[in-house]
Structures are given as structure tokens and as C-alpha cells.
Amino acid sequence: MQKGFIFDLDGTVYLDNHLIDGAREAIQELRNRGDKIVFLTNKSIETISAYVKKLTGLGIEVERGNVVNSNFLAARYLASNLSKGEKVMVIGEQPLYDELTNMGIEISDDESDVSYVVLGWDREFTYDKLNRAFQAWKNGAVVVATNPDRTCPVEGGQIPDCGAMIGAMEGATGEKVELILGKPSPLAAKFIVEDILELPPNNCYMVGDRLETDIRMGNDYGINSVLVLTGITEKGMLEHAKDQPHYILNSIKELPAITKEPDPKVLK
């Protein structure tokens, strides 16, 4: 039976520029079995082309159509929901701007002339940017975000991610940012499973290192959820966690073995 695997990247396949031990071999084994592979990252500070280049450089062959990031998901949503002439304000870095403009979305800094504010990870986030987004919201703009990750795993620790921008906006407005287009959004899960993998959710596996994004999306959409302990989540964090994975692995090196079809010759 053909299976589909949705891989997170940071903390799952690699950390910074270093491949996690056994990742390349595990992914290749799944491909050799005839399974389908998609890479899905919430990180909004890189383009899809950059991810393709990085994975290829690490020895993992990948086609552009099999890499999805939260910028693409946000752009896809807005392209489907904006009316003609509507514009968006962007709080984020150049890859987010590029993805939106590639889909024909018009961007503006005019707080009185935008229908949406798009929050992405912004390493040059300032009070001025927060104020412009706040003023746009006061003028009726809908606030959406690329991803809810509070931090991003890097070698030696973690650094603040888009969740920090969301927190600042929620603190200013007093309202929760409900529309988040990356993991764990059901819109993201539906697109990956139905449009790319084209498999039933229960034939798919969401493999990642973060409970509140990777594991939650898998569980909420009926996908087998696989937690790897090479990134954000440590085993002790599971004791009181709301989002519990179906499988817990030390790394994706162990993935082919636990998803292998049983040998019919040994079945009773």
C-alpha cells in the first residue's frame, strides 16, 4: 500500500546546515519503496527555491512541487480570497513579499488602503511596523499569519519565530490572530494530502519535532503523527502535553522500520 510522508525540515531533516544522521538514507528508502514525499516547513524567511537548493546540497533530491512553505500557503489563501483591487500589508522578510507578488497580490504600506495584514517571521521587527499593522487593523484589515511557531530550532538552541510577531499584535489589539495558514492549519493539511499526495489521510504520516504544529496538524486531520526528538520537543515534555503523537522516534532514521508493511510470509 502506497504511503505519503510529510516532513518538517528544521529539527527533523536538518539543523541549520547540518543533515540529521540517517535522514538522507531514510528518505531514500521510503522513495525506493514507492512512497510519496513532501517537505512542509513553517519557516517564512526562505523561498521555496532556497529550500530546494539546500536539500539538494545536502544530498536529498527534491522537485520544487514537493516543497511547500507557509509563505506559499498564505499567498495561495489570499489569492483565492482577495477581491479585485484589494491590497495587503506585509510584516515579514523579502521571501514573503516575493511569494505574494508572484501570485499577483498587490502590497501596500497605506494603513487605510489594505484589506489584510500578513504577519511573517521578521528579524527586523520594530515598533513602527507593529504600529502600522495595528492602524491597518483599526481600519478594518483582517490579520493573518504565516505560522504560529514561537521559536525556531537552531544548532545550540532556539531563536524567536513568527509567534513573537503574533504575540505583539495580539497584545496591541486584544484579539487572537485566528487565521494562521501554515501548520497546524487544516487548510494546509487538506492541500498537501488531497492536491499533492493524493492519498487518504490515514495512509499519510506527518513527521516533525513540534507538538503544537506538526503533531497537532496530523492528529486534527486524521494523519498518522510522528514525533522526532531531534528538534524542539524533549521526551519529558510529553507528560502533560495536549498534543500526543502516534509514534515517538529518536530521529527519522527509524521511520522506514516502523512504517514497513508486514511480510505476508510471517503473518498467521
Q: Which domain holds residue 76?
A: 71-180
Beta bridge partners of 166: none
**Burial classification of residue 254, based on how many CB atoms lie within 10 Å of its CB (0-12 exposed, 13-18 middle, 19 or more buried):** middle
* 201 lies in the same domain as 137: no
* 84 lies in the same domain as 167: yes
* 75 lies in the same domain as 164: yes
pLDDT, tens digit, 9 for 90 and up, residues 74-93: 999 999 999 999 999 999 99
User: Can you give the pLDDT at residue 268?
Assistant: 37
Residue 48 resides in a domain = no
Taking the whole predicted model, whether its pTM rises above 0.85 is answered as yes
**Residue 264: pLDDT above 70?**
no
Residue 37 resides in a domain = yes
C-alpha cell at 66: 514537493
pLDDT, tens digit, 9 for 90 and up, residues 188-228: 999 999 999 999 999 999 999 999 999 999 999 999 999 99
Proportion of the chain above pLDDT 90, given as a percent? 93
| CB atoms closer than 10 angstroms to residue 199 | 18
91 within 8 A of 117, measured Cβ to Cβ:
yes
Domain count, the chain: 2
* 84 lies in the same domain as 143: yes
Q: What is the mean pLDDT of the chain?
A: 94
pLDDT, tens digit, 9 for 90 and up, residues 12-70: 999 988 999 999 999 999 999 999 999 999 999 999 999 999 999 999 999 999 999 99
User: Can you give the pLDDT at residue 260?
Assistant: 86
**Residue 261: pLDDT above 80?**
no
Residue 56 resides in a domain = no
User: Can you give the pLDDT at residue 187?
Assistant: 94
* 233 lies in the same domain as 161: no
Residue 266's pLDDT band (boundaries 50, 70, 90)?
very low
* 195 lies in the same domain as 163: no
Residue 119's pLDDT band (boundaries 50, 70, 90)?
very high
* 114 lies in the same domain as 189: no
Query: In terms of Cα–Cα distance, which of 37, 41, 19, 39 is closest to 28?
Result: 37
User: Can you give the pLDDT at residue 6?
Assistant: 98
* 107 lies in the same domain as 189: no
Residue 157 resides in a domain = yes
* 234 lies in the same domain as 134: no
User: Can you give the pLDDT at residue 258?
Assistant: 92
Residue 61 resides in a domain = no
Mean pLDDT across 105-117: 97
**Residue 265: pLDDT above 80?**
no
Residue 202 resides in a domain = yes
Residue 16 resides in a domain = yes
Beta bridge partners of 39: 7, 67
Mean pLDDT across 129-154: 95
* Cα of 261 vs its chain's centroid, Å: 28
Q: What is the CATH number of the domain that holds 216?
A: 3.40.50.1000
Cα 18 to Cα 27, 103, 127, 190: the distances in Å are: 16, 32, 34, 30
> Of 153, 180, 207, at which residue does a domain stop?
180
C-alpha cell at 114: 489594505
C-alpha cell at 106: 498587490
* 171 lies in the same domain as 210: no
Cis peptide upstream of residue 256 (ω within 30 degrees of 0): no
Proportion of the chain above pLDDT 70, given as a percent? 97
Query: In terms of Cα–Cα distance, which of 239, 176, 241, 194 is closest to 214?
Result: 241
Residue 234's pLDDT band (boundaries 50, 70, 90)?
very high
Residue 50 resides in a domain = no
* 128 lies in the same domain as 170: yes
Mean pLDDT across 134-154: 95
Residue 139's pLDDT band (boundaries 50, 70, 90)?
very high
User: Can you give the pLDDT at residue 262?
Assistant: 66
> Of 127, 145, 180, at which residue does a domain stop?
180
Q: What single-letter amino acid sits at 150?
A: R
For 83, which DSSP code?
P
* 146 lies in the same domain as 190: no
Q: How far apart are CA 197 and CA 5, in angstroms?
A: 8
> Of 118, 153, 180, at which residue does a domain stop?
180
